[in-house]
């Protein structure tokens, strides 16, 4: 498709939605003003009523809508950042729960072993009591039979080793149990901390999404169409600037076999709704889509965009190839899967669907390769 193909693809996404609606709105407004001026809306209107209200200039109207766009975009960006924090906390909660269950099983096994050792120690103590409590060493000294003395010495040594072994095992096992209990306690504390972090992130996500939806709901239908076009135009402008930089000319890499599988999965999800915290199969958030795409290719990658950026091998932008993940914004809060020709597939935000977009339509932080080799 090349750079022109990528530009055309983004133009197709932006389209011309809302143009006819805006023109119709202006025509209706002009008609209403004319009717008021001629008295056809009420013959007894006062002079003030007969004077038409000033019509906002197109420039002022455009500035207002752009301010609304920026505010909505900011709210969704904050929600997306909180979504990735929620995803990370959720992953940690599941990990800690699994570890606590494993520790509980280990503690149960250790306690059973401890009970066995205590019974053995009790049996040894009872045997000593039945012999009158005379130390085995003294009994050997009092034995006049040399053969019996030697046999008794061997038995005594084995008995002493058995006692020491039981006591040693009891001591080590008690120490291990204390360690397991401390570990379980610390993990429980971290579990609770992550749960609180997750709840806080969930509240922030819902608050920001609700605020953005409320702000958007105040717009008239025609304004919503214009807002969508404005968003698309801004993305197109950023993409064009990226293409004009010559970045795409340097990108000539070919997809690996696993990369092709990841692309196939991602593109087959186009049209499905964005839902925060979702990992498919019916809805996705941005990192949920990349996670499942590479899972379908046979690679397990980190859950969140931040961890994908932190843990996966990084490659230079000029070395990017289809299947790589493009990480966006300085906080690594968004991610898309590069499909070639300057385009990505991504799950944008609430209220939008999985779609194709220009790889340069958002500020690029860097590129990572799920099937690459780590260096250093």
In angstroms, the first-to-last Cα distance of the chain is 36
Number of helices (H), then strands (E), belonging to the chain: the values are 11, 6
172 tagged catalytic? no
64 tagged catalytic? no
Q: Which of 36, 64, 172, 334 is catalytic?
A: 334
Respond yes or no on whether the N-terminal peptide bond of residue 281 is cis (omega within 30° of 0): yes
Q: Which residues contact 180 (CB under 8 A, 6 or more apart)?
A: 103, 106, 107, 110
Residue 219, CA distances (Å) to 25, 62, 212, 225, 286 in order: 13, 13, 12, 10, 27
* Beta-bridge partners for 350: none
Q: Which of 30, 172, 186, 346 is catalytic?
A: 346
What whole-number distance in Å separates Cα of residue 282 and Cα of residue 290? 14
List b or e across 136-163, with b for residues whose CB sees 16 or more CB atoms inside 10 angstroms: eeeebeeeeeeeeeeebeeeeeeeeeee
* Neighbour tally for 10: CB within 10 Å: 25
- Among residues 350, 343, 225, the alpha carbon closest in space to that of 286 is found at 350
Cβ burial of 273 (10 Å; 0-12, 13-18, 19+) is: middle
What whole-number distance in Å separates Cα of residue 3 and Cα of residue 244? 9
- Residue listed under structure tokens 């340069």: 360
What whole-number distance in Å separates Cα of residue 346 and Cα of residue 365? 16
What whole-number distance in Å separates Cα of residue 193 and Cα of residue 71? 31
Catalytic residues: 286, 334, 346
């Amino acid at each position: 498709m090349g750079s022109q193909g990528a530009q055309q693809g983004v133009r197709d996404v932006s389209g011309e939605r809302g143009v006819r609606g805006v023109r119709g709105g202006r025509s209706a407004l002009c008609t209403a003003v004319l009717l008021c001026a001629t008295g056809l809306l009420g013959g007894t209107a006062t002079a003030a009523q007969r004077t038409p209200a000033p019509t906002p200039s197109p420039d002022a109207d455009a500035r207002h809508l752009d301010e609304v766009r920026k505010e909505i975009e900011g709210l969704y960006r904050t929600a997306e950042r909180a979504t990735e924090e929620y995803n990370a906390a959720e992953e940690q909660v599941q990990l800690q729960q699994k570890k606590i269950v494993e520790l509980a099983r280990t503690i149960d096994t250790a306690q059973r072993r401890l009970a066995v050792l205590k019974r053995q120690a009790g049996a040894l103590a009872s045997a000593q009591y039945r012999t009158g409590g005379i130390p085995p060493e003294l009994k050997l000294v009092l034995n006049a039979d040399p053969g019996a003395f030697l046999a008794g010495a061997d038995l005594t040594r084995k008995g002493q080793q058995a006692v020491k072994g039981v006591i040693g095992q009891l001591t080590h096992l008690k120490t291990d149990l204390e360690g397991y209990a401390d570990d379980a306690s610390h993990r429980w504390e971290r579990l609770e901390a992550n749960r609180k972090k997750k709840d806080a992130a969930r509240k922030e996500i819902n608050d920001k999404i609700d605020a953005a939806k409320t702000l958007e709901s105040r717009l008239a239908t025609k304004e919503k169409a214009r807002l969508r076009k404005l968003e698309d135009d801004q993305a197109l402008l950023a993409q064009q600037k990226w293409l004009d930089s010559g970045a795409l000319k340097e990108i000539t890499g070919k997809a690996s076999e696993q990369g092709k599988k990841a692309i196939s999965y991602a593109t087959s999800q186009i049209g499905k709704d964005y839902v925060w915290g979702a990992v498919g199969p019916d809805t996705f958030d941005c990192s949920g889509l990349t996670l499942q795409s590479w899972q379908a290719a046979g690679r397990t990658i980190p859950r969140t965009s931040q961890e994908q950026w932190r843990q996966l091998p990084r490659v230079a932008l000029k070395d990017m190839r289809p299947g790589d993940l493009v990480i966006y914004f300085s906080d690594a809060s968004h991610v898309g899967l590069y499909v070639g020709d300057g385009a990505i597939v991504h799950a944008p935000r609430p209220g939008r669907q999985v779609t194709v977009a220009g790889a340069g339509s958002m500020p690029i932080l860097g590129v990572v390769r799920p099937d690459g080799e780590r260096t250093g």
